[in-house]
Each structure stands twice: as structure tokens, then as C-alpha cells.
Amino acid sequence: MSEQTNNPWKTISLSDYENHMSLDSVRQLQTMDSLMKQQFEAYPVQTAMVLGVAGGNGLGHVSCDKFAKVYGVDINAEYLEQTQRRYPQLSGVLECVQLDLINECEKLPKAQLVIANLLIEYIGYEAFEKALLQISPKFVSCVIQINTDTKNWVSDSPYLHAFDRLDEVHHQMEETALENALGEIGYRRILRSCEELPNGKALVRIDFEKN
């Protein structure tokens, strides 16, 4: 399991990650929170899974009246501990699962909705396909970052040093390639929206439904 042990996401502190993402020059944490509200409300499902849940940003929009179970999946156990502490109101609904999506996707439970925001960039299309085949959701809602500056895909900030090793696992995202990958396993695109960010970046939400 050397890949799991050495994964750079296990070395980035949650405070560095969230402080960077919430800077006015980045604004990804705030934008993602509003996007996740839409994602949780969009479809008639009772179970959902957030892949790459980090510190649980967006989970405040989970309605216990709607959801029987929401899984938060991440490779970083400390992130999951924080998430569990932050959302006591989701006791009995939120279940945190620590695993490496590239090497351990066979351990994933089933869910009707998968939310994968800024995650596919770090595991690649093939690993994402394998995870979806295991989870078998009816709906998949993804957010990917589109960059006009392909050399500097992490926005400049005082926390930039914390992300130095992410080049080791980062894949540049392309909408068409994502749609083709999910099409191969029986999913069709049903929604696309785009949120402009500072620094020449944008968050593109693409939703899919199983054929």
C-alpha cells in the first residue's frame, strides 16, 4: 500500500487546504458550498456518497428528512475526524469512510447519488469509472476545475507550499474526455453549468444519469 501511504493528500493539513480555498482570490470553498446545496437537492434519492469529502464543506445542506445515509469518503483520516465533529446534527445519517479510491474501491458501499467535486483530477478517469461501477449510482454529479493557465493550476496564495506535491497525482481535466469515460460505463450527461472564479479559472458542474 505504498501508494496510499505516500499520497500527498495525506500530508496536507485541513487548515492549509481550507484557508487557501476560501481566499478572496480563490473562492472555491464558498462556490463549492453553494454548488453542493444544488447537488444534494437535485434528485429524488435517499442515499448519497461524497467522494473526496475533505473537511465536509457542503454537508450543512444535507436534509435528514430526505437522506437516510450519506457517505463521506476520503483518503485522509484526519479530514474525516474533523468532518464527523463538525456535523453532529447528521448523527445516524453521515458515515465517514477512509480509503484510497485508486487501490481500495472494492470496499465502497452502494449509493444512489455520487458527488465528486475536484476529485477526478487526483485519481484519473479509470479509477473514477471503477469506483462508479462498484457504487452503482443512478446519478453522478461532478465538479471539475477548468484552467486557462495550465502551468499554474493551483492559485497563488500564502498556502501554496502546502500543495507542492500535488503535481504527482494531478490530471488535467477535459469535459469531453470525462463524458466519454462515463459513457463507456453507461452514463449520459443530463446537466452542465459553469461558475467563473478569480484567476482565470472556472468550476464546471456536469451531471450524469445511468442509462
Segment (H or E) for 86 = helix 77-86
Give pLDDT, residue 26. Answer: 52
Report how far residue 140's alpha carbon sits from residue 112's, in angstroms, rounded to the nearest whole number: 9
Give pLDDT, residue 91. Answer: 96
Give pLDDT, residue 52. Answer: 93
Give pLDDT, residue 153. Answer: 42
| Burial of 165 (C-beta count, 10 Å sphere; 0-12/13-18/19+) | middle
Report how far residue 137's alpha carbon sits from residue 204's, in angstroms, rounded to the nearest whole number: 20
Cell of 55: 473537511
Predicted confidence (pLDDT) per residue in 126-179, tens digit: 999 999 999 999 999 999 988 755 555 455 444 354 445 555 545 577 899 999
Give pLDDT, residue 30. Answer: 78
Domains and CATH numbers, the chain: 2-210 (3.40.50.150)
Give pLDDT, residue 188. Answer: 98
Beta strands 187-197 and 201-210 are: antiparallel
Report how far residue 94's alpha carbon sits from residue 192's, in angstroms, rounded to the nearest whole number: 27
What is the number of alpha carbons within 13 Å of residue 180 lying toward its C-beta? 5
User: What are the percentages of helix, strand and coil residues in the chain, rounded to 5?
Assistant: 40, 25, 35
Report how far residue 160's alpha carbon sits from residue 164's, in angstroms, rounded to the nearest whole number: 7
Global pTM value: 0.84
Instruction: Return averaged pLDDT per consecutive 10 residues of the chain, 211 residues in all.
Output: 53 64 61 92 98 93 98 94 94 97 96 95 92 98 78 48 51 87 98 86 93 94
| DSSP notation for 24-59 | TTT-HHHHHHHHHHHHHHSS--SEEEEET-TT-TTG
Which residues is 145 bridged to in the sheet?
A: 203
User: Are the C-beta atoms of 50 and 32 separated by less than 8 Å?
Assistant: no
